[in-house]
């Protein structure tokens, strides 16, 4: 029983991480039809700058952790908004060029991060409580999982409230459904594009800082490794669906944990099989719109 | 073409051409919409009526001159054209199905939405359904929402694309009445396949054939010439509802 609890809560923690990356990917695709392969770079830069911030303030304190999260969110938002404004905006409806530009940006930034911080992982420290465990029904759960879950829930609630109760949120929800009609109502939908990129980048930035605590290190490859699973989550949940991304994040991460433990480390294989099954049965994903 | 309409038009289009992909959809459209009237664009299926509306709005790539109240707008992006005072009611309504009626209307509001009273007067049923998702409304109710979105604002002109398409006869009458009332406050450029509706509403007609303007002039003169109506539209001027132009 304790093993099941441990795998479940660890899976939820990993799922929280996937959601923080996938939420932005899903919103960006849903509104703009852009598959953003540079999304992992937002995460990685935010993780590095968050780490540098925590180091400067003293890595053991809660203040430095929250400062790192703030810096990560701002870094992700600015990097993402800048990418949209400078590179993507000229390429709407040009999908091949979008892929080339975002893949190119991802490769270039990883090389840049290699140059600045080196190729080896930088091991990090945080508040002592994060390194400790809490016992639940006999299972000793690493405390950083609880932080991940709490922050992901806060981000999910924040994005939902933003989408439901703000003018920009209304424009984004309408734009996901019918972008050209939003324009035909006199709304400059490009501003919504930038805002969505910034929100997605901020979520990824927070995810980057938390990922460094989950894995215990930050490296130039951090974003790329998470991006693969975030894309799988986004497709399974349904491109453009925030609830879909949230549910699929949990399902994928929990499946991964259980398969790794009970089926001889086949977690990644099981996730790919799940993706195949979902695409066969529901090609638009669990919550995606049928086209 | 018939003689041009006297006076300063609200909308003037000259030599408008547009394509989708590499396929030309209109080749040369010339038309004028005078103030205070309904101008109907007529033509057979595939003639380029909807493409003309989309090209005026910049929703598809186009060339040619488009002037709104004497100012060129053909170089502007769609949202800027709309904000200059061009309301749009698209073919097939295009309401946001996942949003409520109130959210659909709120999204369309510009500058305090001075036309709210007209919307309440014309569409009380829609206002009562403010909390209902637009996707769950009937086709007629969705058309009301689509019209209401355009009427909320202080527009110089409305571009209304096939507002009675697919509606039951009773709803066709209601929509036509709403447009008649709306035309008292704003000029309308109307694409309409139902000739009975076009006859009832239009003061001017523009006929398009194969992407080109082939006739423009007063509606009563046009509809009185049955031979010309049949030649240009393939239908009698009474507007037989089973005829080609009504499908």
Q: What ipTM score was computed for the predicted complex, to two decimals? A: 0.87
Question: Which of A168, A185, A189, A238 should be substituted to probe chain B, the one whose Cβ sees the most B Cβ atoms within 10 Å?
Answer: A185
More confident residue, A38 or A93: A38
Burial B50-85 (b: 16+ CB within 10 A, else e): bbbbbbbbbbbebebebbbeeeebbebebbebbbbb
For the cut 70, the answer to whether the pLDDT of residue B5 exceeds it is no
Residues of B in contact with A170 (CB under 8 A): 99, 103, 106-107
Query: Going by C-beta distance under 8 Å and a sequence separation of 6 or more, which residues neighbour residue B128?
Result: none
HSE-CB for A77 with a 13 A CA cutoff: 13
Q: How confident is the model at residue B243 (pLDDT cuts 50, 70, 90)?
A: very low
Calculate how close chain B gets to A283, using CA atoms only, in Å: 21
Q: Which residues of B touch A177 (CB under 8 A)?
A: 96-99
By the 10 Å C-beta count (0-12 exposed, 13-18 middle, 19+ buried), B7 is classed as exposed
Answer yes or no: is B84 within a domain. Answer: yes
B183 touching A, CB under 8 A? Answer: no
Instruction: Answer whether residue B239 shows pLDDT above 70.
Output: no
Mean pLDDT of A213-231: 94
Q: What percent of chain A has pLDDT over 90?
A: 80
Q: What is the mean pLDDT of residues B21-48?
A: 93
Is B100 within 8 Å of B48 (Cβ atoms)?
A: no
**Phi, psi (deg, nearest 5) at residue B96:** -85, 105
* Residue B121 domain-assigned (yes or no): yes
C-alpha pair distances (Å), B22 with each of A90, B27, B60, B62: 20, 13, 12, 12
B86-100: average pLDDT: 94
Which chain B residue has the Cα nearest residue A185? B108
pLDDT band at residue B92 using 50, 70 and 90 as cut-offs: confident
Mean pLDDT lowest for which of A83-87, A144-148, A162-166, A176-180? A176-180
Does any domain span residue B44? yes
Q: The pTM is what? A: 0.84
Q: How far is CA B190 from CA A274, B49, B58, B65, in A?
A: 51, 10, 17, 19
* Maximum C-alpha span of chain A: 59
First to last CA, chain A: 43
Question: Would you state the pLDDT for residue B240?
Answer: 45
* pLDDT value of residue B246: 41
The contacts of residue A112 (CB under 8 Å, 6+ apart) are none
Name the one residue in this structure whose structure tokens are 């304190």.
A61
B140 occurs within a structural domain:
yes
Name the residue among B83, B88, B107 with its Cβ closest to that of A170: B107
Q: Is A119 exposed, middle or buried (0-12, 13-18, 19+ CB in 10 A)?
A: exposed
Tell me the pLDDT band of B2, cut-offs 50, 70 and 90.
very low
- Which residues make Cβ contacts (< 8 Å) with residue B54, sequence separation at least 6? B18, B60
Residue B241 lies in a domain: no
pLDDT band per the 50, 70, 90 thresholds, residue A90: confident
pLDDT for A259 beyond 80: yes
Nearest to B82 among A171, A177, A185 (CB): A185
How far is residue B13's CA from residue B30's CA, in Å, rounded to a whole number? 5
Dump strand ranges (E) for B168-235: 188-191, 204-209, 212-218
Which of residues B63 and B115 earns the better pLDDT score?
A: B63
Q: What is the per-residue pLDDT for B236?
A: 64
CA distance B53 to chain A (A): 11
Partners of A182 on chain B (C-beta within 8 Å) are: 107
Is residue B4 domain-resident?
no
CB contact under 8 A, B83 and A186: yes
Structure tokens at A239: 């491109």
How close is the nearest chain A Cα to the Cα of B78, in Å?
6
Of A177, A181, A186, the CB nearest to B98: A177
- In contact, B64 and B74? CB cutoff 8 Å: yes
The answer to whether residue B246 sits within a structural domain is no
Mean pLDDT for chain A overall: 93
Residue in B55, B79, B161 to test binding to A, most A beta-carbons within 10 Å: B79
Give B94's contacts in chain A (Cβ within 8 Å). 178, 181
The pLDDT value recorded for residue A95 is 86
What is the arithmetic mean of pLDDT over A132-139?
91
Average pLDDT, chain B: 89
Q: Give A107 to chain B, closest Cα distance, Å.
A: 33
What's B48's DSSP letter? S
β partners of residue B26: B18
Res. A218: pLDDT tops 90: yes
**pLDDT for res A37:** 94
Question: Which residues fall within 8 angstroms of residue B112, CB to CB, at 6 or more apart?
Answer: none
At residue B7, the pLDDT reads 63
Mean pLDDT, rounded, for A240-265 = 94
- Distance to chain B for A291, nearest Cα, Å: 15
Q: How does residue B36 score in pLDDT terms, banded at 50, 70 and 90?
A: confident
Asked if the structure places residue B58 within a domain, the reply is yes
Q: How many CA atoms lie within 13 A of A138 on its CB side?
A: 5
| Domain count across chain B | 1
Q: What is the pLDDT of residue B116?
A: 81
A134: helix, strand or coil: strand
> Could you give the maximum distance between any two Cα atoms of chain B, in Å?
50
Measured in degrees and rounded to the nearest 5, phi and psi for residue B9 equal: -75, 150
Residue of B nearest to A289 (CA): B98
**Tell me, what CATH number does B178's domain have?**
3.40.50.300
Q: Quote the DSSP letter at residue B134.
A: G
**Is the pLDDT assigned to residue A60 strictly greater than 90?**
no
């Amino acid at each position: 029983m304790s093993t099941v609890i441990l795998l479940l809560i660890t899976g939820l923690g990993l799922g929280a991480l996937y959601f923080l990356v996938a939420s932005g990917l899903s919103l960006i695709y849903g509104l703009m039809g852009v598959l953003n392969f540079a999304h992992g770079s937002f995460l990685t830069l935010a993780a590095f700058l968050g780490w540098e911030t925590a180091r400067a303030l003293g890595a053991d304190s809660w203040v430095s952790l929250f400062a790192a999260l703030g810096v990560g969110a701002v870094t992700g938002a600015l990097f993402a908004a800048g990418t949209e404004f400078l590179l993507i905006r000229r390429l709407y409806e040009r999908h091949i060029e979008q892929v080339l530009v975002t893949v190119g940006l991802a490769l270039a930034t990883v090389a840049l991060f290699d140059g600045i911080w080196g190729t080896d992982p930088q091991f990090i420290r945080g508040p002592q409580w994060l390194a400790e465990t809490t016992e639940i029904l006999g299972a000793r759960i690493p405390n950083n999982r609880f932080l991940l879950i709490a922050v992901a829930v806060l981000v999910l609630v924040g994005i939902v409230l933003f989408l439901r109760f703000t003018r920009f949120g209304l424009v984004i929800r309408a734009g996901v459904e019918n972008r050209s009609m939003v324009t035909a109502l006199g709304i400059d939908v490009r501003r919504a594009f930038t805002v969505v990129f910034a929100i997605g980048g901020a979520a990824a930035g927070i995810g980057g800082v938390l990922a460094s605590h989950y894995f215990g290190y930050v490296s130039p490859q951090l974003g790329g490794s998470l991006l693969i699973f975030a894309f799988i989550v986004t497709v399974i949940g349904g491109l453009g669906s925030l609830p879909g991304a949230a549910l699929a994040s949990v399902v994928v991460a929990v499946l991964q944990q259980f398969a790794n433990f009970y089926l001889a480390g086949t977690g990644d294989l099981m996730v790919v099989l799940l993706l195949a099954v979902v695409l066969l049965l529901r090609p638009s994903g669990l919550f995606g719109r049928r086209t | 073409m018939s003689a041009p309409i006297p006076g300063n038009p609200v909308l003037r289009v000259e030599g408008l051409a547009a394509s989708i992909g590499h396929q030309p959809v209109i080749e040369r459209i010339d038309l004028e919409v005078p103030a205070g009237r309904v101008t109907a664009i007529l033509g057979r299926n595939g003639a380029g009526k909807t493409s003309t509306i989309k090209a005026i709005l910049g929703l598809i790539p186009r060339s040619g001159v488009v002037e709104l109240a004497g100012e060129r707008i053909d170089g502007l992006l769609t949202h800027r054209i709309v904000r200059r005072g061009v309301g749009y009611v698209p073919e097939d309504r295009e309401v946001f199905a996942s949003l409520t009626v109130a959210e659909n209307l709120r999204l369309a509001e510009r500058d305090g939405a001075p036309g709210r009273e007209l919307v309440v007067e014309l569409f009380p049923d829609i206002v009562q359904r403010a909390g209902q998702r637009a996707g769950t409304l009937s086709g007629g109710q969705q058309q009301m929402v689509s019209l209401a979105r355009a009427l909320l604002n202080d527009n110089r002109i409305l571009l209304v694309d096939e507002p009675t398409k697919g509606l039951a006869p009773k709803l066709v009458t209601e929509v036509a009445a709403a447009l008649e009332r709306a035309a008292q406050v704003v000029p309308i450029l109307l694409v309409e396949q139902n000739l009975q509706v076009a006859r009832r509403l239009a003061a001017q007609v523009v006929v398009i054939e194969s992407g080109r303007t082939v006739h423009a002039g007063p509606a009563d003169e046009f509809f009185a010439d049955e031979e010309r109506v049949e030649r240009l539209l393939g239908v009698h001027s009474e507007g037989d509802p089973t005829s080609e132009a009504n499908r």
